[in-house]
Structure 1
């Protein structure tokens, strides 16, 4: 404990406990195992110190908290060491890294941030690393993988002690490279504090998470923390102004629309959505690339992955092989039940992402674009009318439905989306209908589809549950779409 106190300049309330050792860390009392440091953090609804008795009963060997937490009776009388710091959440990552032996220093950690494209870029990078023979780890929205073993993900980026524990397990299992998505929440809340990055990469920035960030400038400031010197190599997409603001003399740049170190030549698209192009890089490098993923934005994601991989010395043949093999769950994922129209599930759940996804499919089909879309509850409310507007401008039929209403009234969420959609002049939009039940909405969309059309189920992507009034019910867009297609044949 004396070492931990010195790491973050914390106050140890009882110096006689300085010799006590801890072997793990957690901020959830229900997850404490004997020997853990329990982080009793202040929260919006409760203080972690209110759960100290449960943590101590489970075997917590020490507690980290702030002054307010230290004043709780359970901690004033606790017979364990108590570390007090004015910002315990901010230093938890540093402490967890020390407890778990600074695992990121024994790995090459690839951090990928941005609004859209983090998951796809992570899969592209990880696939190429595996093609190169590396033993890999993956941490992100869809899943966590440790040398091929899959774990479910609760957050895009885990809480600080969970992250350091994961990295420590990866070291034990002889992983070489860990590719991880880094969210703005993770950067702002210190989840990646104590983590050293071999590479930091930036995809793009568009409106999202304005329920957490007061404005876009604050959202950008959070993302920019990955490029404050904590990553040894920085690779940035400069197609947008936000990316250009991150550029330093040492930044490796990629772009689809402007000059950069890495650019893409002419893109060829097959009728089934596969793409091929040549990546042009530094010193005259030309790298022919084949992608199974549709959409110009996925070419941009591939360029970012190439920039990272090339900077790390991965062979071009391994880059080509890895990128050509990638399919990402819930990201422009095709559902094929032998139907005469194209069916796609995509995680797009913000205005810019919806626009990009629908622009991509519009270019690749000769028929109509039919979209099923909802918005999540307890999240940024300002994007709801914008999503309705973007979707209806790009579709022939928009079915407004429920996503994850969470604690909100689903009808109120749909009304906000419909307001944005119906504000578009009649001549500039397609048909708009409202069907609250998501399964029924998907069945309606499939019933309207004719040969040559495309049906896009947007918003939930890889998710396998739908949260309504605090209860998560099993629901998969992929399964619901496949069932609807099979049912339409009967």
Structure 2
């Protein structure tokens, strides 16, 4: 866990226009319309003294009878009846916005000592103020109480790991829907609560929104929901107060070391999900040492899964003794069909239409998690046969834009994910080449930049290094780090790879298409579904899928139709 003073590097300040950077309480929602869209329509009021008792905070005077019907960390998203949580921000304290929150209808404030001192220096606050040492750590508990999110809530599946979280949640929902379930989703790409999609700006929203969404799903009668659970979500209390019915683990590879410092700390943060206060049961992929350690140390019932039985890595991790095993994977079109066998002899036939061995892993994990959630194997097999749920398109995850050349957009933004994506798109056709466009994110773990460059040089024929999201860092310096890895590997290992530097990113994508023939494969990696590129605090419109489609069309290639890609 990071020290209490650590600032969440993916906190909302990174995702709002430059003009909003002085507002530390801006969250993933903005304004009352967004706030109400996350919440159930009807919320029974909770007395303030009941809230105080639940979190061990003194409620002043006669304020205990104050009735609370919502909670927000964002003064702009306050609705009448809300408890406003005033937290320290990157530039200013949320207490500076109490007046704005009260004007919008806040009936009480929860803050820390610093916030209380700021309020004492200002004019009188006309609503009760509750003071706690670490109010952020209490928000999940309060939100769960207000929205009653754990009472009669949908069966909840949480997926963590470095890679594969998004696709696995989509696969879980697709299989559940094939089983006749009504599902919800909280993830990187979008949020679904039985209605129109709500764009998602964080892998996991703030805990206030998570509990409101679960309350909304309960109100709408949804049967189940899937959620991506990032290490940031665990570190910064975004899933506090949430109890998952089944938690799933994909893998652990280098990422987010700018936050966690070491792989051991990164692992321990992920492992928090697999404890009784956060999940009832778990499914853990044990094809590496991290998965094996997690399965052995978890304090909740664990079902183990191996996707690569018999390999050296699996043997080291002890995966050959796993409860479920993937057997006999075989190519079928762009995807793979395989068998999934339990140690008791139960066997399922599974297919995914998405390319790559990692999607076999995602499909297997989704299947076992649904089984762990209480569904019968025979019913699951019938759903797999009738609906082919694991061929669902996942935006920005191995998303096919054209077939000749094969042009793919993927979110791969760390060394392991990039290697898997490049291996997955390599065509067996003689003479075909892999052309990749990628970069690295600014103000994140710098050690992975040269590693990604070297991986690209080893696995692609043409490497075009460009920009990802530089944030406030110098874009040229980021490219220089990536190029050093690519050119170093190319020279030292005599790889005969063409390494280019092309920017801005849209120019790099055009260059890739210009160099491609119908038999080649283009992989544009790193940004996936994202439609904005942040440069020096300004969000610039940029969608890799749109740029790739437009470049292909301009060069006379035929592109696939996808209604979700808007030019």
Same fold (TM over 0.5): yes
Matched, 1:289 2:350: yes
Q: Aligned Cα RMSD in Å?
A: 1.7
Aligned to 2:444: 379
Q: Secondary structure at the match of 2:68?
A: coil
Aligned to 1:335: 401
Instruction: Give the 3 Å change call, closer, same or farther, for CA 275–486 of structure 1 in structure 2.
Output: same
Aligned to 1:241: 289
Aligned to 1:55: 101
Distance, in Å, in 2 between the alignment partners of 1:61 and 1:364 is: 65
Distance, in Å, in 2 between the alignment partners of 1:163 and 1:250 is: 25
Matched, 1:484 2:530: no
CA contact (8 A) 2:354 2:391 kept: no
> How far 1:368 sits from its partner (Å)?
0.9
Distance, in Å, in 2 between the alignment partners of 1:82 and 1:133 is: 47
The aligned runs of 1:248-263 (5 Å cut-off) are: 248=296, 250-257=301-308, 258-259=319-320, 260-263=322-325
> How far 1:112 sits from its partner (Å)?
0.5
CA contact (8 A) 1:293 1:332 kept: yes
When structure 1 is superposed on structure 2, of 180-189 and 363-372 the one drifting more is 363-372
Q: Deviations over 1:324-370 (max 9, x none)?
A: 4422111111112xx63211110000111001111112265541111
Q: 2:488 aligns with which of 423, 431, 437?
A: 423
Please list every run of 5 or more consecutive structure 1 residues that lacks an aligned counterpart in the other structure: none
CA contact (8 A) 1:371 1:445 kept: yes
Instruction: Give the 3 Å change call, closer, same or farther, for CA 379–102 of structure 1 in structure 2.
Output: same
Matched, 1:312 2:373: yes
> How far 1:106 sits from its partner (Å)?
2.2
Matched, 1:21 2:67: yes
Distance, in Å, in 1 between the alignment partners of 2:428 and 2:78 is: 52
Aligned to 1:370: 435
Instruction: Give the 3 Å change call, closer, same or farther, for CA 36–114 of structure 1 in structure 2.
Output: same
CA contact (8 A) 2:327 2:340 kept: yes
CA contact (8 A) 1:109 1:199 kept: yes
CA contact (8 A) 1:70 1:76 kept: no
Aligned to 2:162: 115
Aligned to 1:323: 389
Instruction: Give the 3 Å change call, closer, same or farther, for CA 3–429 of structure 1 in structure 2.
Output: farther
Q: 1:447 aligns with which of 514, 537, 544?
A: 514
Distance, in Å, in 1 between the alignment partners of 2:474 and 2:151 is: 43
Distance, in Å, in 1 between the alignment partners of 2:485 and 2:374 is: 47
Aligned to 2:55: 8
Distance, in Å, in 2 between the alignment partners of 1:179 and 1:207 is: 24
The alignment's TM-score, normalised by the length of structure 2, stands at 0.83
Aligned to 2:175: 128
Distance, in Å, in 2 between the alignment partners of 1:403 and 1:157 is: 21
Distance, in Å, in 1 between the alignment partners of 2:474 and 2:106 is: 40
The aligned runs of 1:184-263 (5 Å cut-off) are: 184-229=231-276, 230-248=278-296, 250-257=301-308, 258-259=319-320, 260-263=322-325
Alignment length, in residue pairs? 486
Aligned to 2:81: 35
CA contact (8 A) 2:453 2:483 kept: yes
Distance, in Å, in 2 between the alignment partners of 1:429 and 1:92 is: 55
When structure 1 is superposed on structure 2, of 3-12 and 314-323 the one drifting more is 314-323
When structure 1 is superposed on structure 2, of 344-353 and 74-83 the one drifting more is 74-83
The aligned runs of 1:159-174 (5 Å cut-off) are: 159-174=206-221
CA contact (8 A) 1:136 1:146 kept: yes
Q: Deviations over 1:362-410 (max 9, x none)?
A: 2655411110001112222221111111111111100000111122221
Q: Deviations over 1:421-452 (max 9, x none)?
A: 11114213511000011111111111111232
Q: Secondary structure at the match of 1:206?
A: coil
Matched, 1:268 2:268: no
CA contact (8 A) 2:203 2:230 kept: yes
Aligned to 1:278: 339
CA contact (8 A) 1:365 1:454 kept: no
CA contact (8 A) 1:407 1:470 kept: yes
> How far 1:223 sits from its partner (Å)?
0.8
> How far 1:119 sits from its partner (Å)?
0.3
Q: Deviations over 1:188-232 (max 9, x none)?
A: 111111111111111011111122222222211111111011211
CA contact (8 A) 2:439 2:468 kept: yes
Q: Deviations over 1:239-286 (max 9, x none)?
A: 11111111148310111223211111121114x422111111242111
> How far 1:487 sits from its partner (Å)?
0.7
Q: Deviations over 1:96-149 (max 9, x none)?
A: 110112346522111101110000100110001111111110110011111252
The alignment's TM-score, normalised by the length of structure 1, stands at 0.95
Aligned to 2:29: none
CA contact (8 A) 1:30 1:55 kept: yes
Distance, in Å, in 2 between the alignment partners of 1:401 and 1:475 is: 13
When structure 1 is superposed on structure 2, of 161-170 and 39-48 the one drifting more is 39-48
> How far 1:51 sits from its partner (Å)?
1.7
Distance, in Å, in 1 between the alignment partners of 2:394 and 2:490 is: 36
Q: Secondary structure at the match of 2:65?
A: coil
